[in-house]
Structure 1
Amino acid sequence: MLNFLKKTAAKVWAKNHVKQSENYKKNAVEDQQKLLLQLVKTAEKTLFGREHRFEEITSVEDYQNRVPISDYEGIKHYIEKVKRGQRNILWTDTPEYFAKTSGTTSGAKYIPISREGMPYQIAAAQSALFHYISQKGNADFVNGKMIFLQGSPELEEIFGIKTGRLSGIVAHHIPNYLQKNRLPSLKTNLIEDWETKVDEIVKETEKENMTLISGIPPWLIMYFEKLIERNGKKITELFPNLQLIVTGGVNFEPYREKMNELLGKPVDTVQTFPASEGFFAFQDDYTKEGLLLLTNHGIFYEFIPLELYGKPDAPRLTLKDVELHRDYALILTTNSGLWSYSIGDVVRFISKDPYRILVSGRTKHFTSAFGEHVIAFEVEEAMKATVEKFPAQITEFHLAPQVNPAEGLPYHQWFIEFEKEPGNFEAFKKNLDDEMRKRNTYYDDLISGNVLQPLIITKLKKNAFQEYAKSEGKLGGQNKIPRLANDRKIGDFLEIFKISH
């Protein structure tokens, strides 16, 4: 009876929530403009607000004229003041948390999360589940066990500000009604070494009634593989009541076939777009591609056309100005004190009613050694189309330019860890190159003009990418391996794992 009541209550909450959310889907442009002015008004007396004359701002244009685009390096001196205990620097008072992330140029980054910002992280995750329940009419998962593959919930303090990985911070805010259903145990969650942690999670969960599993796709795959290795069963055989996979962090599509293979049969999937800086979007309609952009969750968005990103006169567009199927660098102003902050993600709108996006890459993750500016979305879509055509399964891949080959023309080198190789490898390779040429006209021109030779695939031994992640101290949690790069740092490491022909 209790299980029935719990499931029924979830369906009622979901229906009401989705009905209420229709307003912000319809009024996104107006809501965004109001939100920006509210954020500016709230932060008028902060150091940042005084330095940028927030009291004079009455429009989006005023704001853009006074506040330049900035990355972490640009706000680091403000963050250092906050870390020393100073108040009212970027936002009122001090942050409730610092989400600590690993940076490439800045070392560790400390992203502030305010008392106002934290509830939106939780509300967005709940909203994603409510939309799923409402659309699918399925709330069965609320009665089973749920696992969130995440970082350690142990937090340190910097001048009274609790600091840790975002997923570890979020673990402290799981609603009470989910706590008793949640795995793994606190003891296991506190394990820092990722491989040891996953081994313990496998032991804790293999006999449980798992109904919801959440995490970043490559680490879900690692967890599933260890379960199968220990039990000799596909995941849906081991967990027959598994209802839902919730993913985030990277584009799910390149992992879908591999995931289905491990699962044994398809399981409903909800894709999300969370980050330390905010929770931006989630999949709200399972009949359509794309993620619903959350326009009333304390974040004001600006968009810079990717080809103009970094140029001093680049336009800063708002929602009303964006075009469909064009790539934009995502810029954030948040209720945690980030002001026109370049997060490094690239998005592409596929709908404006409501506003739905695809995450198409990273501003720093591209290959343009020859002027082609290939982005992650293009390589992922080319791989997806090729894998669909050939009976192959990919564990992971990475693209790096080979500018000075020992012989012949330069080329794009694809490092691929196959779970199952294609029957006709040469045809697979040619198809992948053709798909890339279709998606990037500059690359096509370079091949046609004999500047580049067609791509070359280097096959890798099993767990090559895990070994790379381990070497960088980025195994597990929210860490992601770039799908492509403009240098050979990752590629040269992966050469160690090359399968000789």
Structure 2
Amino acid sequence: MINFIKKNIALIWAKNHVKGTQSFKANSVKNQEELLLSLVKTAEKTLFGRTHQFENIKSIQDFQSHVQIADYEDLKPYIEKVKKGQRQILWTDTPEYFAKTSGTTSGSKYIPISKEGMPYQIAAAQSAIFHYIAQKNNADFVTGKMIFLQGSPELEEINGIKTGRLSGIVAHHIPSYLQKNRLPSLKTNLIEDWETKVDEIVKETEKENMTLISGIPPWLIMYFEKLIERNGKKITELFPNLQLIITGGVNYEPYREKMNELLGKPVDTLQTFPASEGFFAFQDNFEKEGLLLLTNHGIFYEFVPLEEYGKPEAKRLTLKEIELHKDYALILTTNSGLWAYSIGDVVRFISKDPYRILVSGRTKHFTSAFGEHVIAFEVEEALKATVEKFPAQITEFHLAPQVNPTEGLPYHEWFIEFEKEPENLENFRKNLDDEMRKRNTYYNDLISGKILQPLVITTLKKNAFQDYARSEGKLGGQNKIPRLANDRKIGDFLETHRS
């Protein structure tokens, strides 16, 4: 009886919530402009606001002329002041949290999350689930056990500001009505070593009625493989009531066939786009591609055409100016004190009513050693098309340029860890090269002009990518291995793991 009531309450909440979102979906352009001016007004007296003459900003154009696009290095001097306990620096108060992320040139990054910003992180996740329940007209999963593969919830403090991984911070904000259903235990969640942690999660969950599982695809695969190894059953045999997988961080499509193999049969999947800087979008229709852009969640968005990104006079477009099916660098201004901040993600709009996006790559993750500027969306789509024609299962892959081969022309080298190789790898390779040439005219010209030879596939031993992640101290949690590089750093490591 209790479960019946719980399911019906969830269904009523979900339908009412989705009905309430129609307004923001219809008024995104207007809401965005109002939001920006509100953020500027609120932060007028901060150090950043005074430095950038916020009192003179009355329009989006004013904002763009006063505030230049920034990366973490640009904002770091302000963030260092915040870390020292100074107030009124980027936002009106000190942050409630610092989300600590792994940087490259900057070392660890400390992304501020204000007391205004944190509720939107939770609200976005809830909204994603509510949209799913309303569309499915089914909330059965709320009565079972749910697991979120995440970082440790243990937090440090920097001058009174709680600091940790975003997933660990979010763990402290799981609604009370989900706490009884949630796994793993706090003791297991606090384990730092990822492999030990996954082993304990397997033990805790293998006999439970798991109905919802959430995490990024590579680590879901690791968890599923360990479950299957211990129990000799596919995941849906082990968890017959498993209804929903929530994923984010990377494009799910290249993992779908491998996931379906481990699952035993398809399970509903819901893709999301969260980050330390904000929760930007989620799949509001689990049966169709595209993520609903959250335009009323304390974040003002700008979009720089990818071909202009990094140039001094690059255009900064707003929602009303974007075009469909073009790639844009995503720029954020948030209610946590990030101003015209380049997050490093590339998005592509597939709908304007409402605004829906695909995450098509990273501004720093591309291959352009020969001027071709190949991005993640192109390689993922080319690989998807090839796998459909020449069935194979792929665990993970990485593309790196080979500029100085021992003989012959330079080429793109694809390092692929297959779970199941295609019957004819050479035909698979030729088709993949053809698909890449269709999607990137510069690459096609380089092949036609005999500047490059067609791509080369290097097959890898099992767990090659896990070994790389382990070598970098980035095994587990929200860590992701770049699929594209402009150098051989990752490629040289993978070279030692040839199959």
**Bucket of the pairwise TM-score, normalised by the shorter protein:** over 0.9
Match for residue 287 of structure 1? 287
**Normalising by structure 1, what TM-score?**
0.99
Give 1:329 shift: 0.2
What's 1:102 paired with? 102
Once residues 33 and 42 of structure 1 are traced to their aligned partners in structure 2, the CA distance between those partners, rounded to angstroms, is 14
Aligned-partner residue type, residue 427 of structure 1: N
Question: Could you say which residue in structure 2 is the equivalent of 1:261?
Answer: 261
Offset of residue 391 of structure 1: 1.8
CA distance in 2, matches of 1:417, 1:151: 25
Partner of 1:239: 239
Matches within 5 A, 1:43-442: 43-442=43-442
Q: What secondary structure is seen at the aligned counterpart in 2 of 1:374?
A: coil
Give the Å deviation of 1:30.
0.1
1:7 counterpart letter in structure 2: K
CA distance in 2, matches of 1:138, 1:455: 46
Q: Which residue of 1 aligns with 2:23?
A: 23
* Aligned residue in 1 for 2:465: 465
Aligned to 1:451: 451
Deviations 1:301-332 (A, max 9, x none): 00000000000000000000000000000000
1:125 maps to a residue whose letter is A
CA distance in 2, matches of 1:173, 1:123: 10
Q: Which runs of 5+ in 1 are unaligned?
A: none
Q: Which amino acid aligns with 2:14?
A: A
Q: How big is the shift at 1:286? A: 2.6
CA RMSD of aligned residues (A): 0.4
CA drift of 1:288 comes to: 2.3
Q: Deviations over 1:358-385 (max 9, x none)?
A: 0000000000000000000100111111
Aligned identity (percent) is: 85
Give the TM-score, by structure 2 length.
1.00
Q: CA deviation at 1:287?
A: 3.4
Shift of residue 33 of structure 1? 0.2
Q: Tell me, in whole angstroms, the C-alpha distance in 2 between the residues paired with 1:469 and 1:83.
A: 29
Write the deviation string for residues 447-496 of structure 1: whole angstroms up to 9, x where unpaired: 01110000000000000000100111111001000001000000001011
Q: Distance in 2 between matches of 1:139 and 1:247?
A: 18
- Cα shift at 1:289: 1.4
What letter corresponds to residue 386 of structure 1 in structure 2?
T
Q: Deviations over 1:259-315 (max 9, x none)?
A: 000000000000000000000000001332100000000000000000000000000
Deviations 1:85-117 (A, max 9, x none): 001100011000000000111000000000000
Tell me the distance in 2 between the aligned counterparts of 1:112 and 1:216. Answer: 23
Instruction: Tell me the secondary structure at the aligned position of residue 38 of structure 2.
Output: helix
Post-superposition Cα deviations, 1:176-200, rounded to whole Å, max 9, x if no partner, equal 0000000000000000000000000
- C-alpha displacement at 1:172, in angstroms? 0.0
Q: How many aligned positions are there?
A: 499
Deviations for 1:4-53, whole angstroms, at most 9, x for unmatched residues?
00000000000000000010000000000000000001101110001111
Inter-partner Cα distance in structure 1 for 2:117 and 2:213: 25
Q: Which aligned pairs between 1:481-500 and structure 2 lie closer than 5 A?
A: 481-499=481-499
Offset, 1:388: 1.1
Letter paired with 1:132: Y
Paired with 1:192 and 1:401, the residues of 2 have a C-alpha distance of 35
CA distance in 2, matches of 1:111, 1:227: 35
Q: Which amino acid aligns with 1:406?
A: T
Spell out structure 1 runs of 4+ moving beyond 6 A: none
SS in 2 for 1:452: coil
